[in-house]
Amino acid sequence: MNAIDPEIAGQLASELPREDFVRIVRTFEDDLGRLARLLEAAVAAGDEEGYRRSAHSLAGAAAAVGARRLEQVARIAMDHRNPADPRVLALQVRQEASEALAELSALAEHPPGAS
Amino acid sequence: MAASAARILIVEDTPTQAEVAGALLRTLGLETRVAETGAQAISIAQTWRPDAILMDLELPDFSGFETMRRLRTEGVEAAIIVVTAHGSVNHAVEAMREGAVDFIVKPYAKARLTVTLQNALEKRALATELREAKAQLGRDRFFGFIGASATMQAVYRTIESVAASKASVFITGESGTGKELAAEAVHRASPRKGRAFVTLNCGAIPRDLLESEIFGHVKGAFTGATDSRAGAAKLADGGTLFLDEIGEMPIEMQVKLLRFVQTGTFQPVGASRPEKVDVRIVSATNRDPWVEVETGRFREDLYYRLYVVPLHLPPLRERGEDSLLIARHFLAAFAREEGKRLRGFTWEVEQVLRAYSWPGNVRQLQNVVRNIVVLHDGDRVEMSMLPPMLLRGAPGQGAVVPDPVGAPPVEPEALPVVPPCVAKEPPVPMPAQPAPTFAPHQAAPLAPPPQNEAFQPLAEVEKRHILAALDRVAQDVPRAAALLGINPSTIYRKLQAWRSDASG
């Protein structure tokens, strides 16, 4: 499975003017950096509420651009019944975020339908 | 898309999601703004007035549901579309209960967003249209007016339509129909509402002072003018000048008023230079203005300048259930003022109030209700509390008293139309007062004509006599009938016949 769902991200890239899609990718990049930092800080401080709130925002941002794998990891972190170790999940978030960004940037460079 | 100029507020605290929504909406030609918190959403919605709101439910300060409740409390009427994540359909159901018009599951495609928004905006437009239509039809109050009848709805609509313009308004209507209220409503509904509303009663000011009252004077302009004084025209600058009883204005003053209406300039008495003001003029009379023109009492050129938008106030007898609505309003107000318990009218009293012809219109009704409240107390107003003028001429005494076993009440439409120009100031009801005796003066129709005067046809004498009796009792038919010792229905029949003769 790719980091990015081509149906969602591809549709955005083809339906929006290129500059709008590029702006979305940059905004997503900013969000990832900020939210991942908040998530890690909450893990380090044992702040369960802050951890889940950051995970919720990450899941929303990821879903909006079709970053499915990142969204799944974030949703696991949001679920208080899931026994997964928050430190491990925080690492996974970083990993998935970086892969999603790479694929989105490539899509911004070569949107579907562009020659 | 149909709503291409619509404004959409995106309530979303995650910038990526707000950016995606904003970019999609912009491709649809819509105007967008973003609020990151519930509080910000309320603040933007109050000033920017969006047509639709895309509402995320998880916000940093309070939930989307709470934001929706607060938006409604603040009177924001935008169509709200709730944006939910996967699996939160329960949230969507709750959102619909809270007044959202639809929900959309994220991530959403442009096509889905387009359809959802289009539906929501159409629903909102229909709801707004329906509300406005209902408000137009069902208003029972309008500025100072009370009345839900169709005739008054037409008055309200005319006032609303003309308010924004500077066009002169000419109000006609019998005494007591609310001409000054209408003039005030025109002012208060207009963009001039923040400026002065100045009333001048042309019939109440001595003829030689009228010019100074309207245009002001400078010190020393005439004996007694110890200081300069601004007139009504100057005081109303930027606002509205209401010239009541315009028909009473002397003809020489009408020339000066015409110049003022034409140019917006006037010269205070004794001043050497003219002054210019921006004034909207509303005039009123209880006479027929065209008859005044035809008889030479009112200048035709001034008539055309002032009679731009005519507004006729119907007499109370043509306003159906309004008489009861107004009576209830006055009863509540006066009972509160006088510390009385009276809270309503008995069924019989309501029938009388409904059927009476109210020649003095709302002012007479107001006087009657005040009279009852001052003199009586109890839970409800009963027949015994009514002033005799409302009861005279009923069967037995005979008039508008309904059959207590349920005979159909007298329909207001069935009552005669009293000639509009002869309504005098309403008499203050005095229940303890005996009925006035009708003592014909020298020229009264019953006096035998002098030897050298030709006999008049009996029908003419009868007509003059009945009209004189009606004049004597402020057009109160049952009372006139009592004075003449005949049944009120006879007078009604005669009036009807005379009207037919006149129109035929």
- Per-residue pLDDT, B343: 92
Average pLDDT over residues B269-289: 94
- Per-residue pLDDT, B470: 83
- Per-residue pLDDT, B426: 35
- Per-residue pLDDT, B136: 62
Could you tell me how many CB contacts below 8 A there are between chain A and chain B?
61
- Per-residue pLDDT, B172: 96
Range of lowest pLDDT (B225-229, B260-264, B323-327): B225-229
User: Residue B503 pLDDT more than 70?
Assistant: no
Rg (chain A; Cα; Å): 15
pLDDT tens figures, B78-109: 999 998 876 567 777 888 888 899 888 888 88
pLDDT tens figures, A18-31: 899 999 999 999 99
- Per-residue pLDDT, B496: 73
ipTM over 0.95? The verdict is no
Count Cβ neighbours within 10 Å for each residue of B43-71 and write b for 16 or more, e otherwise: ebbeeeebbbbbbbbbbeeeebbebbebb
Residues of A in contact with B86 (CB under 8 A): 63
Residues of B in contact with A57 (CB under 8 A): 13-14
| Torsions phi, psi for A78 (to 5 deg) | -70, -30
Average pLDDT over residues B4-16: 88
CB pair distance less than 8 Å for A63 and B106: yes
- Please, which pLDDT band fits residue B481 given cuts at 50, 70 and 90? confident
Chain centroid, CA B129 distance in Å: 23
Which of B19, B24, B106 would you mutate first to test chain A, the one with the most A CBs within 10 A? B19
CATH code for A6-109? 1.20.120.160
- Per-residue pLDDT, B285: 95
pLDDT, mean over chain B:
83
- Per-residue pLDDT, B450: 47
What domains appear along chain B, each with residue ranges and CATH number? 7-134 (3.40.50.2300), 145-314 (3.40.50.300), 443-504 (1.10.10.60)
| Nearest CB neighbour to A28, from listed B16, B26, B56 | B16
Q: Which residue has the higher pLDDT, B11 or B478?
A: B11
Q: How many residues does chain A have?
A: 115
B341: its two tokens: 């318990």
CB pair distance less than 8 Å for A16 and B107: no
Task: Write down the domain spans for chain A.
Answer: 6-109
pLDDT tens figures, B185-240: 999 999 999 999 999 999 888 888 899 999 999 998 888 788 899 999 999 999 99
A27: its two tokens: 């905004």
